[in-house]
Structure 1
Amino acid sequence: MLVLNEADTRAALPWGDLIEALRVMFRDGCEMPVRHHHDVAVPGEEAATLLLMPAWQPGSYIGVKMVSVFPGNTGRDLPAIHGSYLLSSGKTGQLLAIIDGAELTARRTAAASAVAADYLAAKDARRMLMVGAGRLSLNLIEAHACVRPICEVTIWARDARKAEATAAQLDLPGVTVAVSTDLEAAARQADLISCATLSSQPLIRGEWLKDGAHLDLVGAFKPSMRESDDRAVERASLFVDTRDGALSEGGDLVQPLRAGIIAAGAVRADLAELAGGRHPGRTEPGEITLFKSVGAALEDLAGAILAFERSRPN
């Protein structure tokens, strides 16, 4: 049985291979039950949460991601979130690998956005704005640079020091990086905007989006959270990773749906339809596109299979 730590997992998931693995998995599909969400009592503390996200390809692989969220860990100087991925044989049930869940999640999330951008962003998109400076920011920049000729990256975060720290870590040949404190000015110039924040209020406004821009919304994974305003949703052609997930969990679409700003039918395609050639993606040079993701278990399965097959002994 393989055990892949954070560094092992990162090394086993190079961007090009991971992006293609997700594209194929979305195209071909897999069995993906609704995720399990359980409250776990912790005596004397706020309850913890256990998340179980299974997916499988019959006769091939079975995988499940286990994530625990213990709010009380903040007082113990421990991470609140822990996660592992268990990959088993779909023929025998034998456990094949335990993979670092946090690194797998971060990389597959960015790769899914890159798959979407390959269909939705302008072919000549060169200027990227990264909104947010958390763990996902570097992953998103690197993944998008694999599918589009990004040569200028601007990073904006509420804490400019975090944006500076993220900029200092970015090392992509031929790519210049800068930090901006003027979000509107940076957004108006960007060909591709990627947001990965925990914001509960809109950050990107539709009036800022230039013709042909692509907006990638990765944060705001609860209905109460939001990274874009109603005008952005109104102006853009809307795409999602999965309809069930994005239309029930992603605040950027859930809130305008509830307000009657858009209807569920406004979503033009999901990643399965894009990867399967059932929708062409961007159709006009000046079209504004918006992709909203909340994550799906098939992304974890695709990444775990790739990591296992690249790492197992010959």
Structure 2
Amino acid sequence: MQVYEANATRAALPFDRLIATLRERFAGGCEVPARHVHEITSPAGEGGGDLASRRMTSLIMPAWQPGKYYGVKIVNIVPGNAKRGLPGLHSSYLLFDARTGVPLAQIDGDEITQRRTAAASALAASYLARTDAKHLLVVGAGRVAHLLPAAYRAVRPIERVTVWARRPAEAQAMAAQVREAGLPAFASTDLAAACSEADIVSCATLSTEPLVRGSWLAPGSHLDLIGSFTPAMREADDACFEGARLFVDTDEALQKSGDLLVPMQHGVLRADDVRGTLTTLAKGVATGRKNEQERTVFKSVGSALEDLAAAVLVYESSKG
């Protein structure tokens, strides 16, 4: 069995190849059962005194291509790790031969997750953002946010990046890194103004309250919502969906994301307002952007299909 640490995994997943791989896999499909969610709590006296320090949520995310590959990602989320000086999330990916069950590879799950998440947003933008979109606004300054400029540059002629984050120092640091990579980038403290000037607004935060307001978005802009993957999380207000054409990564987004569930509860949004998924876009069944003036919105919650596609790319890249 091959072992791919973080650096090897990252090197095998350049965005141009990863986006093309995701496009092919969404069009071709694979088997993706529901993820398993387990709550694991250590006994009192272990792992710290408070309950948060003793509790871990483990996600098990399988997917397979019959007769080819079977993969499982295990994600462990421990909020109490912050007090230990450790990351709150760790993940690993195991890839098997789907015919024999033979283990093929163990791959860094964090790198897979971060890069496939950014690549999925760029894939959606290849259908939904204007072809001349040049100005990208990134809302957030975490690990996925740092990858978005490079991912979007693989599908659109990005010439300027603006970064907004709750902590201005983090936005400034990220903007400096983007500049070092060769793109003009600036930090902003005025989110309303930054939204009004951007062709693409991409949000990658853990916010539980709307950050972006529909009244701030320019005609013809594309809004990408990454962060809200539970009913309690939101990055966009109801107005972001009014008059916009909405797309999702998978239909599961309608059950998981507060960005969609809350507007649906308010009567602003209906399930049949969704114009397509990454599968229907990749297959050419759904129509993406229709004109230069309409606003588009893409909401993702992640899929084990994306993990499997990335893992197979890592494994096959090393085989020459």
TM-score w.r.t. the length of structure 1 is 0.97
Distance 1:38 1:173, change over 3 A: closer
Structure 2 distance, partners of 1:198, 1:7, is 26
Alignment partners' CA distance in 2, 1:187 and 1:274: 26
1:262 corresponds to which residue? Answer: 269
1:272 to 267, 273, 279: 279
What does residue 22 of structure 2 align with? 22
In structure 2, how many angstroms separate the alpha carbons of the residues matched to 1:69 and 1:207? 35
Q: 2:80 aligns with which of 48, 54, 72?
A: 72
Matched, 1:299 2:306: yes
Partner in structure 2 of residue 84 of structure 1: 92
Which residue of 226, 236, 242 corresponds with 1:234? Answer: 242
Output the CA distance in 1 between the equivalents of 2:181 and 2:40.
46
Instruction: For 2:84 and 2:43, locate their aligned partners in 1 and report how far apart those are by CA, in whole Å.
Output: 15
Query: 1:164-203: per-residue Cα shift (whole Å, max 9, x none)?
Result: 1111211577621111111111110100000001111111
> What is the rounded CA distance, in whole Å, between the counterparts of 2:246 and 2:318 in structure 1?
37
| Structure 2 gaps, min length 5 | 45-50
Q: Is structure 2 residue 126 aligned with structure 1 residue 118? A: yes
Distance 1:48 1:255 in 2: 27
Q: CA deviation at 1:77?
A: 2.3
Alignment partner of 1:248 is 2:248: no
Separation in 2 of the partners of 1:11 and 1:281? 31
Match of 2:288 in 1: 281
Alignment pair present for 1:39 and 2:39: yes
Amino acid of the structure 2 residue aligned with 1:132: G
1:137 corresponding residue in structure 2: 145
Q: CA deviation at 1:114?
A: 0.6
1:143-182 matches, cutoff 5 A: 143-171=151-179, 175-182=183-190
Q: CA deviation at 1:209?
A: 1.0
After superposition, the C-alpha distances for 1:19-68 in whole angstroms (9 at most, x for unaligned) are 00000111010000000001112112442111100000000000000011
| Number of aligned positions between the proteins | 312
**Residues 57 and 77 in structure 2, CA contact (< 8 A), matched pair in contact too:** yes
The change in CA–CA distance for 1:29 and 1:262 in structure 2 (over 3 A counts) is same
Cα distance in 2 for partners of 1:300, 1:174 equals: 29
Equivalent-residue separation in structure 1 for 2:65 and 2:4 (angstroms) = 21
Q: Decide which moves more: 288-297 or 250-259.
A: 250-259
**Unaligned residue ranges in structure 1 (runs of 5+):** none
Q: How many Å separate the matches in 1 of 2:99 and 2:170?
A: 46
Q: In 1, are the aligned partners of 2:203 and 2:235 still within 8 Å (CA)?
A: yes
RMSD of equivalent CA atoms = 1.2
Contact 1:124 1:148 survives alignment (8 Å): yes
**CA-CA distance at 1:73 after TM superposition:** 2.6
The aligned amino acid for 1:284 is N
> Could you say if the C-alpha distance between residues 153 and 273 of structure 1 is closer, same or farther in structure 2, counting changes exceeding 3 Å?
same
Does the 8 Å CA contact 1:206/1:235 hold for their aligned counterparts?
A: no
Letter aligned with residue 191 of structure 2: L
Map of 1:11 onto structure 2: 11
Match of 2:230 in 1: 222
Which amino acid letter does the alignment assign opposite residue 296 of structure 2?
T
Identical columns (%): 53
Please report how far the alpha carbon of residue 80 of structure 1 lies from its aligned counterpart in structure 2 after TM superposition. Answer: 2.4
- Structure 2: how far apart are the matches of 1:252 and 1:16? 29
Deviates more, 1:147-156 or 1:229-238: 229-238
The residue type paired with residue 279 of structure 1 is: A
Question: Which residue of 2 is the match for residue 183 of structure 1?
Answer: 191
What is the one-letter code of the residue matched to 1:87?
L
